[in-house]
Structure 1
Amino acid sequence: MIAVLQVEVRKLNGSLALLLAVLAPALPGLLAALSLISTDRAPQWESILTGFVLPIWSLFLLPMVVAAFTTLVGQIEYRARGWDHLLALPIARWQLFLAKAVVVLAASAMMTLLVLLFAWVGASIGGAIGGHTPLGTLPWARLARTVLLLLAGSTMLVVIQLWTALRFASFVMPLVVGIGGTLVAMAVAMTRTDQAAWFPWVLPLKILSAPNPVPFALFGGIGGLVLLAIMVTDLSRHSFR
């Protein structure tokens, strides 16, 4: 299994998927830098990270980047009929698909951590240029808890996107799913309704805004693991032609 994981990681080297995973998390940091350059007062670190950067990431950028990333991962195999070679190897099919899921989930976690890193760098640079260095200390404990809950809650979203990207040869399907889910989440955010609180694309937003985010994180995490088992079973029986 470790060898299969290593192969999946090597497949990302030099691909657009890896480039996307590194560059996309820098966008909230860029916005934080621009906002500090143009502001007339110094904000608190906590308001920058938990009140500005993470909401932008969880509501819009995370689902869109995951949709694009999983699409690129799926197209690695569909280009030049890579499935024919991959599935002919003397390796259990479930290991192949589980390895892809582990790599994608790990990449999603890495991107969320990079968001915080780039936000810290961007806010520091923007504050230095604008003369409004952020006040207070970094809320490490709250950030760690929020990130862990966010990663757990987004598991279902990531698995659905990966399942769609691997199940369909066309890159259109996973992108449509990602765009549609993101639009629903944005509609929920704008209307502030609770009718779609358990929708996979809404869970990251609820984790940041709900008084008690733990149930949403547990639902996304446990539901994601259940869907992962179903995905591996389904793809193991699927004919990639």
Structure 2
Amino acid sequence: MIAMLHVEIRKLNGSLALLLAILAPALPGFLAALSLISTDRAPQWGSIFTGFVLPIWSFFLLPMVVAAFTTLVGQIEYRARGWDHLLALPIARWRLFLAKAIVVLAVSAMMTMLVLLFTWVGALIGGAISGYTPLGTLPWAKLGRTVSLLLAGTTMLIVIQLWAALRFASFVMPLVVGIGGTLVAMAVAMTRTDQAGWFPWVLPLKILTAPDPAHYAMLGGIGGLILLIVMIGDLSRHDFR
């Protein structure tokens, strides 16, 4: 399994998928810098992360970036008929798809970590330009808990996107899934309904706004693991020709 993980990571080297995974998390940091440059008072560090950046990232940017990232990962194999070589190897199919899923989940977690880093850098730069450096200390405990819940809660969303990207040769289907899911989440947010808390694209919003977000994170995590097993079983039987 270690060797297969290494191979999957090497496939990302020099790819558009890796470029997206590095550059996309910089956008919240850029927005944080712009916010500090245009402000007329110094904000608290906590409000920058938990009140501004994480909601934007988890509710809108993360689902869209994951949709694009998984699509690019899937296209790596579909270009030049890569599945023909990969599935001809004397390796159990389920191990191949599990390795892909582990790498995608790990990169998705890395992107959220990069968001925190770029936000910190962007806020410092913006504060230095405007003269309003953020006040207080970084809320490490709150950030750690929130990010941990987000990583668990977005598992189901990521698995669905990866499933669509690997199942269909066309890049259109996973993008439609991602855009459609995000639009539904936006509709839920605007109507403020409580009837769609189970929807994978709504879970990040619930994790950030609900009084008790732990069960939403558990729903996304456990649901994601169940879907991962189903996905691996389906793809192992799928004819990629």
TM-score, structure 1 normalization = 0.99
Q: Distance in 2 between matches of 1:102 and 1:223?
A: 16
Q: What secondary structure is seen at the aligned counterpart in 2 of 1:175? A: helix
Counterpart of 2:160, as a letter, is I
Question: What residue in structure 1 maps to residue 134 of structure 2?
Answer: 134
Q: Distance in 2 between matches of 1:194 and 1:212?
A: 14
RMSD over aligned CA atoms reads 0.4
Question: What residue in structure 2 maps to residue 214 of structure 1?
Answer: 214
Question: What residue in structure 2 maps to residue 182 of structure 1?
Answer: 182
Q: Distance in 2 between matches of 1:44 and 1:210?
A: 22
Counterpart of 1:36, as a letter, is L
Q: Distance in 2 between matches of 1:175 and 1:112?
A: 20
Question: What residue in structure 2 maps to residue 157 of structure 1?
Answer: 157
Percent same amino acid at aligned positions? Answer: 85
Question: What residue in structure 2 maps to residue 57 of structure 1?
Answer: 57
Deviation at 1:14, TM superposition (A): 0.2
Deviation at 1:84, TM superposition (A): 0.2
Q: Distance in 1 between matches of 2:191 and 2:129?
A: 37
Gaps of 5+ in 2: none
Gaps of 5+ in 1: none
Which residues of 2 match residues 1-241 of structure 1 at below 5 A? 1-241=1-241
Q: What secondary structure is seen at the aligned counterpart in 2 of 1:87? A: helix
Counterpart of 1:149, as a letter, is L
Comparing 65-74 with 191-200, greater Cα deviation is found at: 191-200
Q: Distance in 2 between matches of 1:84 and 1:70?
A: 20
Q: Distance in 2 between matches of 1:28 and 1:198?
A: 26
Deviation at 1:197, TM superposition (A): 1.1
Deviation string, structure 1 residues 5-44 (Cα, Å, up to 9, x no partner): 0000000000000000000000011000001000000000
Structure 1 segments (4+ residues) deviating >2 Å: none
Deviation string, structure 1 residues 192-211 (Cα, Å, up to 9, x no partner): 11111110000011000000
Q: Distance in 1 between matches of 2:104 and 2:62?
A: 13
Q: Distance in 1 between matches of 2:209 and 2:17?
A: 30
Deviation string, structure 1 residues 47-78 (Cα, Å, up to 9, x no partner): 00000000000110000000000000000000
Deviation string, structure 1 residues 83-106 (Cα, Å, up to 9, x no partner): 000000011100000000000000
Deviation string, structure 1 residues 141-196 (Cα, Å, up to 9, x no partner): 11000000000000000000000000000000000000000001111112211111
TM-score, structure 2 normalization = 0.99
Counterpart of 1:181, as a letter, is G
Q: Distance in 1 between matches of 2:205 and 2:17?
A: 24
Deviation at 1:136, TM superposition (A): 0.4
Tell me the matched-pair count.
Answer: 241
Counterpart of 1:234, as a letter, is D
Counterpart of 1:97, as a letter, is F
Q: Distance in 2 between matches of 1:222 and 1:37?
A: 41
Deviation string, structure 1 residues 203-236 (Cα, Å, up to 9, x no partner): 0110000000000000000000000000001000
